[in-house]
A and B are shown apart, each in its own frame.
Chain A
Amino acid sequence: MSTRHELKLPADFTDLADIGIEWSLPTEKERQDRRATASMPELRRYYDRLQPRMTAIAAHLDQFEYGLDQLPAAERHLLQLAYMYLESAMAVEFYRRPEPPDNFPRSRFIIDDIRI
């Protein structure tokens, strides 16, 4: 019996619950910062796990009406995992590292989270 908090995901995606628990983050800033401070092996592992599921994730979410307050909790977590995959792709496909060297300080870049 596990006392660890489980990530609630839709039935077809419960296989992602183990990795998702560490990567389901609700805001752009949190996802950005998570990517910038993660290790490359972690990011690569996340990227490799999510990539083959992305099309299925989009197809599943498309069953729900579009709207920022329309998703049940399980679907919201799934969406956040999809966003995090895209963030991880910046590290894996572009930077080849979690964060570019000598980047402008992330703490000075204000990210508003209000959008369509």
Chain B
Amino acid sequence: MAADSGNLYQKLYTPLHPDLGTGPVSVEPYISAEYFEREQRRIFDNAWMLACAESEIPQPGSYLVKEVPLVNSSVIFARGADGVVRGFRNVCRHRGNQLFYNECRGKARGFTCKFHGWHFALDGKLRGVTEADRFFDLDKPGLGLTPVMVDTWNGLVFINRGVGTVQPLREYLGSLVDGLEQYPFKQMGLAAEWKVDVKANWKVMIDAFQEGYHVGLVHRNTVQGLFTGPKRPTCRLSHFRLHGPHRAVTTPKNPDFKPSTTEALAFQLAGAGLSQEAGELHGSSGLQWSGLNPGGETDFGFDINIVFPATFIDTSFGWFFTYEFWPQAVDRTFWVAKLFVVPPKTWAQRIGLEMTIIQLREALYEDLTTLEATQKGLSSGAMDTIMLSDQELALRHQHAVVEKMVRGA
């Protein structure tokens, strides 16, 4: 066994953060409706949350429309003629009809309501009103689409409910993203998008994705060979990095991974896959993969970067995936998972990419099997506390940050 692997299994991370303690953690934040309301006021009223990537709306006129529970509204994200990314409520200022009835993507010169033809520019300004002279004192400049607070950092678009004092986005992200300023988010494209309305608290959901303790068992039918093996019997996340309310950690991979017949075929076609480092596909792109593996993990899989409260940006060579956890009720969260990759240049690469898409998707199904059952169990009153091991340090940190903000301590 390599010395590094041995050190990994002797090292404990929790003692490095004595303020987080080692004791049981209260169940109340996961199940109390009153606690949920206080989180909304004290956290979500002015938190920045990931909405999409700039590469999804790459050109002037590009837009995408999605439901954003944070602002209780469907939102149009549009890149203006001036290149600026803006967000607007998907609501016509005439009589409140929606400009778009469904989530969608496209490119346009402006937005026209299908009820009476009111037309809005890409920057939200009201440009056209059918039979405007039949209105009384129509304040056109004041009737632009209602903006929502949107900002971008290095190719990622964030949204804020904007209640009270809002920290500028870059300041909010702080040291969490210092190392990722050159990571090429902008040059990577959306490969897959999956959405689920889950009957679980947002923190129950996040807990399941910020530890590797579950991997060998929950993912035993899919990706457990990628992350566990003789040198790594469990997938322990390593090099926990706390950045104020945010946190980051590294997922190691199994150095003895043996691909199945089809995995090997897909790697050969794509030049890369879930477990591969930069291969032909990514190496040929000329992109620099800076900011990865700041802890120097021997067998690097991917980094998990969590922007408080509820955004995951998981980065690796040639691919990253994001999770958006949108709280809807104490026991309900709308989850959006997206995979981004260096765009394929050949059909062989695209076929290989499909295997990565399928495997990631199937692994997410496996994660989903535990969430609602956990919420039910916690809500039943069976226990007042949960137990957290050293490798569940991220859960302890999240609990502490949320408690501090909710209690106003």
How would you classify the secondary structure of chain B's contact residues: helix, strand, loop or mixed? helix
With a cutoff of 8 Å between Cβ atoms, the chain A residues found around residue B369 in the complex are 102-104
Flag if A112 contacts B193 (CB, 8 Å): yes
User: CB within 8 A of B191: which of A85, A90, A94, A116?
Assistant: A116
How would you classify the secondary structure of chain A's contact residues: helix, strand, loop or mixed? helix
Flag if A104 contacts B266 (CB, 8 Å): no
- Count of CB-CB pairs between chains A and B under 8 Å: 105
Interface check B260, CB cutoff 8 A: yes
Contact with B along A72-116 (1 / 0, CB 8 A): 000000010011011101100111000010111000111110111
Bound-state Cα–Cα, A101 to B260, Å: 22
- Which of chain B's residues has its CB closest to A97's CB? B221
- Which of chain B's residues has its CB closest to A82's CB? B351
Most B C-beta atoms less than 10 A away, residue of A82, A103, A109, A111: A109
With a cutoff of 8 Å between Cβ atoms, the chain A residues found around residue B117 in the complex are none
Number of residues of chain B lying within 8 A (CB) of chain A: 40
Knowing A109-B194, A115-B190, A115-B193, say if A95 contacts B348 (CB, 8 Å): no
Task: Please give the residue numbers on chain B whose beta carbons come within 8 Å of chain A beta carbons, in ascending order.
Answer: 105, 189-197, 221-222, 260-263, 265-266, 269, 341, 343-351, 354-355, 357-359, 361-362, 365-366, 368-369
Nearest first, the 10 A-B pairs at minimum CB distance are A61-B347, A89-B262, A116-B189, A104-B368, A112-B193, A58-B348, A110-B195, A93-B260, A116-B343, A86-B355
- Which of chain A's residues has its CB closest to B106's CB? A114
Task: Please give the residue numbers on chain A whose beta carbons come within 8 Å of chain B beta carbons, in ascending order.
Answer: 28, 32, 51, 54-55, 57-59, 61-62, 64, 66, 79, 82-83, 85-87, 89-90, 93-95, 100, 102-104, 108-112, 114-116
Bound-state Cα–Cα, A64 to B343, Å: 16
With a cutoff of 8 Å between Cβ atoms, the chain A residues found around residue B361 in the complex are 28, 32, 111
Bound-state Cα–Cα, A94 to B260, Å: 9
Flag if A62 contacts B191 (CB, 8 Å): no
Other A-B contacts than A61-B348, A66-B346, A109-B365, 19 sampled, CB-CB below 8 A, are A54-B269, A58-B347, A58-B351, A61-B351, A62-B347, A62-B348, A64-B347, A79-B347, A79-B351, A86-B266, A86-B351, A89-B355, A90-B359, A100-B366, A103-B365, A109-B196, A110-B194, A110-B195, A115-B189
With a cutoff of 8 Å between Cβ atoms, the chain A residues found around residue B350 in the complex are 66
Q: How far, in Å, is A10 (CB) from chain B's closest CB?
A: 13
With a cutoff of 8 Å between Cβ atoms, the chain A residues found around residue B191 in the complex are 115-116
- Which of chain A's residues has its CB closest to B353's CB? A116
Bound-state Cα–Cα, A116 to B351, Å: 12
23 contacts between A and B (CB under 8 A): A28-B361, A51-B262, A54-B351, A58-B269, A58-B347, A61-B351, A66-B346, A89-B262, A89-B355, A90-B362, A94-B221, A95-B221, A100-B365, A104-B369, A109-B195, A109-B368, A111-B192, A111-B361, A112-B192, A114-B105, A115-B190, A115-B191, A116-B190
With a cutoff of 8 Å between Cβ atoms, the chain A residues found around residue B348 in the complex are 58-59, 61-62
Bound-state Cα–Cα, A89 to B273, Å: 15
- Which of chain A's residues has its CB closest to B105's CB? A114
Flag if B347 contacts A116 (CB, 8 Å): no
- Which of chain A's residues has its CB closest to B190's CB? A115
Flag if B262 contacts A93 (CB, 8 Å): yes
Q: How far, in Å, is A37 (CB) from chain B's closest CB?
A: 15
Flag if A114 contacts B193 (CB, 8 Å): yes
Bound-state Cα–Cα, A57 to B352, Å: 12
